[in-house]
Amino acid sequence: MSKEEPAIPNSLLEALRTAQHLVVLTGAGISAESGIPTFRDAQTGLWAQYSAEELATPEAFQHHPRLVWDWYAWRRQMVAAAKPNAGHLALARLEHLVPTFTLITQNVDGLHAAAGSRAPIELHGNIMRVRCATEETRYTTWSEEGALPPPCPTCGAPLRPDVVWFGEQLPVIALERAWTAAATCDVMLSIGTSGLVEPAASLPRLAYNRGATVAVLNLDVTPHNEERLYLLNGQAGSLLPALVAALEQQG
């Protein structure tokens, strides 16, 4: 851990050590150190003229399907080349240190599963899958030969990335599981998320209002500690290994 990053407060470690149900919510920030840009990062190269918010919508796909398909193909290539970083790996260790652990992610990159986390709840889908824009059938393989977006093999409607776009509903079962976990946990860590995209942004508030200890690990926050609320400023790839190592040392 670099010198300017805060130590993990002992009272937070104590809350984690005695937690019965720990919930972790992650956002794009945890994958930034794997080289996957967050939505708020400036787009680069060919894509610099668009904001992510302009491309990740059902309207964009309806009006410019090829443009949106190509943008996701570009993101998919980045994801395929990415490896889990120290933050993802630390979370995979953390789940073995508490009786009940729930990992909820807004990320679509699959890096938590690649790091060894069991059954992360993917609130916003997974970029490595596509689904039929009409009948919702999901596919993990498809052809890039011929017309793009490729047609659904069953009905011919365009295939689209199996991700949740701005303005779309989240998968009901995943959201219910996330909501129940947040409402019943005793500690929640919110990592690398700007807290701007609902309903995920409400999960830490729900946990806090139900009496849980909440710790936010993010590059954007001003460090702050009070009873049951910790704001830790730093990189997930540094803070999380330090936190997990401290818990493992305490045994």
Which positions are catalytic? 124
Between CA 40 and CA 49, with CA 46 as vertex, the angle to 5 degrees is 55
Q: Which residues of 40-55 are buried (b: 16+ CB within 10 A; e: fewer)?
A: eeebeeebeebebebb
Q: Applying CB under 6 A, which of residues 38, 57, 137, 225 lies at the interface with ligand NAD?
A: 38
**Considering beta carbons, is residue 157 or 201 the nearer one to ligand NAD?**
201
Helices (H) and strands (E) in the chain, counts: 10, 10
Q: Applying CB under 6 A, which of residues 36, 121, 152, 216 lies at the interface with ligand NAD?
A: 36
27: contact with ligand NAD by CB under 6 A: yes
> 110: left (phi > 0), else alpha (psi -120 to 50), else beta?
left
Report residue 12 as tokens: 């937070």
# chain residues binding ligand NAD, by CB under 6 A: 27
Report residue 43 as tokens: 């787009």
33: contact with ligand NAD by CB under 6 A: yes
Query: Can you give the three-state secondary structure of 8-59, one letter per residue?
Result: CCHHHHHHHHHCCEEEEEECCHHHHCCCCCCCCCCCCHHHHHCCHHHHCCHH
CB of 250 to ligand NAD, least distance (A): 24
x/- mask, ligand NAD, residues 88-107, rule CB under 6 A, reads ------------------xx
213: contact with ligand NAD by CB under 6 A: no
124: contact with ligand NAD by CB under 6 A: yes
CB of 168 to ligand NAD, least distance (A): 11
Q: Name the residues that contact ligand NAD, by CB under 6 A.
A: 27-29, 31-33, 36, 38-40, 106-109, 124, 192-194, 196-197, 217-220, 235-237
